[in-house]
Structure 1
Amino acid sequence: MRLASLLGALFLTIAVPLYADAPDPYPHAARSYLLVRDDQILWQRAPTLQLQPASLAKLLTALVVLETDWKADRWLTVSAYAASVPPSRLGLKAGEQITAGAALAAMLIRSANDACRVLVEGFSANLTAFRARMTAQAVRLGMTDSNFVDPCGFDADGQHSTVADLLKLAQAARAVPLIAHLGAMPEAQLTTRAGRIIKFNSTNALLGRLAGAQGLKTGNTSQAGQCLIAYVRRQDHEVWLVMLGGTQRWWLAHGMIEDAFAGAD
């Protein structure tokens, strides 16, 4: 069965906010956010506000790539264009070769844009075709308020998503064991075909610092601001936090997630 058909029904249907009539307790957290515990929205702000998604878009890119004749050990060549993209990046050099699995890991763990470009170029004839596949995947996931233009999440005209849509994406992505595994890794390394070893750390500062944190993705651009999809599990409870346009992301996210668990039975 194709990955897309498996993912279509996996994202959770979220109920009405538990504290819908209460004042927003996190007025300075983000332009838009969604805080969910055990499938129940605790707090939210502007859940359908359309904003740039930054590198959170890489989760959709990962889903598209994984249903495209995926072979983790396939060697991909770094183009001059991929080697020239701005940070966050690994510092890949034009002409080097890395495996598809290594590129995927670097894209999800380090949010490396050069690895992201290598991956997209290796699995699609052109950017227009890849965008079309992203759009089709988003439609299958029920992301009705989203449009993706750049697979790596660079700010782009016409590109937008919402925290409500990104929660659907995050839940579908985490249902894929490989993505869940990579999203929870605090560090990793890859080896190029020529033997160069590149070590890299996760961009997710919650990993190893917040009990139960298991991912999932970060993002940050000039238009999007600080963005985050956090997944935390403790015993029988799980919390999702999706933020777009955040400020002081790590400190506030840590407090919001702790507050969510404090109200659990």
Structure 2
Amino acid sequence: MTNRRRGCVVAVAALMLSLSAAAAAPVADRYPGLAAAHLLMRDDAVVSAHAADTRRPMASLTKLMTALLAVESGRDDGEAVTVTAAAARETGTRLGLSAGQRLRFGDLLAATLIGSDNDACHALADALAGSEAAFVARMNARARELGLVHTHYENACGHDASAHVSTARELAALALVAIQQPRILVRTSQPEAAITTLDATPRTFRFGNHNELIGRYPGAIGIKSGTTPAAGRCLVAYAQRDGHAALLVLLDARERWWTATRLLDDALGGNVP
């Protein structure tokens, strides 16, 4: 394990201990009924939590681990990646990539984080590990390294599966690691992006950020949203304002954007102790 990875493990272990301590003396649920599970942090303190240790589907919040492994791999953003047939067959939100197309590694990362495109996500997984199955094994190994004991991945992109689960608390811990990576944070803060293939006849794909807080909520700088039938509307949001930072995880929130705005306003405005 590299010193950088070891440092992340230590940092998250300390975070998980502090969050566990908060769980031992339960933090008040100041926002009952707004989501099936949530966790809200202001600076370094948990200020509200509900069902934060209950395993639930996580939809495309999955892609935070995919992106983390991508940037930790050390692969250069300009490296060419060839889209596999398996990636081209992806379902759900997708760019519409074709097998054999070539794109830059960093552009696939952008499409994964901003557009939440499953074919781009799968192409990254195949490029990094040779197959999605091999990449998922790496995802689960990294989760164990980070002490995410209630998190388990069945796929790289966030499709519903019975054992594909995490918790609000562990997604918060993962997000705190991810936002330390500039290559992740800068992309999740972009309202939109465009990428172009490296083929003889280039094709350009344009996509917007599925996180509707970006460009609309003052101080929002990341990080990922996701929706599936089993998971409902999910969100990990990070915002900074007036010298304070707030991190919010929502799982299955019916009014996701209204709820996120209210909770972030309370945290950044000092309306929670």
TM-score range, shorter chain: over 0.9
1:112 aligns with 2:117: yes
Question: Which structure 1 segments of 5+ residues have no match?
Answer: none
| Alpha-carbon distance between aligned partners in 2 of 1:257 and 1:67, rounded to the nearest angstrom | 29
Q: Secondary structure at the match of 2:11?
A: coil
Look up the SS of the partner of 1:16 in the other structure: helix
Give structure 1 regions of 4+ aligned residues with deviation exceeding 4 angstroms.
19-22
Name the structure 1 match of 2:183. 178
SS state of the match for residue 253, structure 1? helix
Distance 1:86 1:129 in 2: 20
Cα displacement (A) at 1:228: 0.3
Structure 1 CA distance for aligned equivalents of residues 52 and 89 of structure 2: 35
1:5 to partner: Cα distance: 2.2
CA distance in 2, matches of 1:9, 1:21: 24
**TM-score for the superposition, normalised by structure 2:** 0.90
Amino acid in the other structure paired with 1:219 = G
C-alpha contact (below 8 Å) 2:125/2:156 kept by paired residues: yes
The 8 Å contact of residues 96 and 192 in structure 1, kept in 2 or not, is answered as yes
SS class of match (1:128): helix
1:96 to 91, 97, 101: 101
TM normalised by structure 1 equals: 0.93
Q: 1:71 — aligned with what?
A: 76
- Tell me if the contact between 2:168 and 2:250 (Cα under 8 Å) persists in the aligned partners: yes
Distance 1:20 1:2 in 2: 34
Query: 1:81 and 1:212, CA in 2 relative to 1: closer, same or farther beyond 3 A?
Result: same
Change (3 A) 1:2 1:148: farther
Deviations 1:155-185 (A, max 9, x none): 1121110000001100001011111111111
Q: Which residue of 1 aligns with 2:247?
A: 240
Give the counterpart letter for 1:242 in structure 2: V
Higher mean alpha-carbon deviation, 89-98 vs 250-259, is at 89-98
Q: What are the Cα deviations for residues 181-202 of structure 1, in whole angstroms up to 9, with x where unaligned?
A: 1111111111101221111111
Aligned residue identity for 1:231: Y
Q: What one-letter code is carried by the residue in structure 2 that aligns with 1:86? A: T
State the Cα RMSD in Å: 1.9
Superposition pairs for residues 8-47 of structure 1, below 5 Å?
8-11=9-12, 12=15, 13-14=18-19, 16=22, 24-47=29-52
- Read off the aligned partner of 1:127 and give its amino acid letter: E
1:128 aligns with 2:129: no
Question: In 2, Cα distance between the equivalents of 1:232 and 1:84?
Answer: 35
TM-aligned CA deviation for residue 215 of structure 1 = 0.5
C-alpha distance in 2 between matches for 1:91 and 1:21 = 44
The Cα offsets for residues 55-97 of structure 1, whole Å up to 9 and x where unpaired, read as 1111111122223351222211222332232231112222211
**Alpha-carbon offset, residue 21 of structure 1:** 7.0
Alpha-carbon spacing, 1:8–1:40, altered in 2? closer, same or farther (3 Å): same
Query: Within the alignment, does 1:146 sit opposite 2:151 as a pair?
Result: yes
Richer in helix (by share): 2
The separation in 1 between residues aligned to 2:26 and 2:11, in whole angstroms, is 25
CA contact (8 A) 2:52 2:168 kept: yes
State the alpha-carbon separation in 2 of the partners of residues 49 and 161 from structure 1: 8
- Residue 228 of structure 1 is matched in structure 2 by 235
Shift of the 2–216 alpha-carbon distance from structure 1 to 2, 3 Å rule, reads same
Q: Deviations over 1:181-236 (max 9, x none)?
A: 11111111111012211111111100111110000011111111111000010132
- Give the partner amino acid of 1:156: A
Counterpart secondary structure, 1:220? strand
Aligned-partner residue type, residue 45 of structure 1: H
- Name 1:217's counterpart in structure 2: 224
Corresponding position: 1:187 with 2:192: yes
The question of whether the paired residues in 1 share the 8 Å contact of 2:240 and 2:268 is answered with no
Aligned length, in residue pairs: 263
Measured against aligned partners, the alpha-carbon deviations of 1:227-247 in whole angstroms (never above 9, x if no partner) come to 100001013211110011111
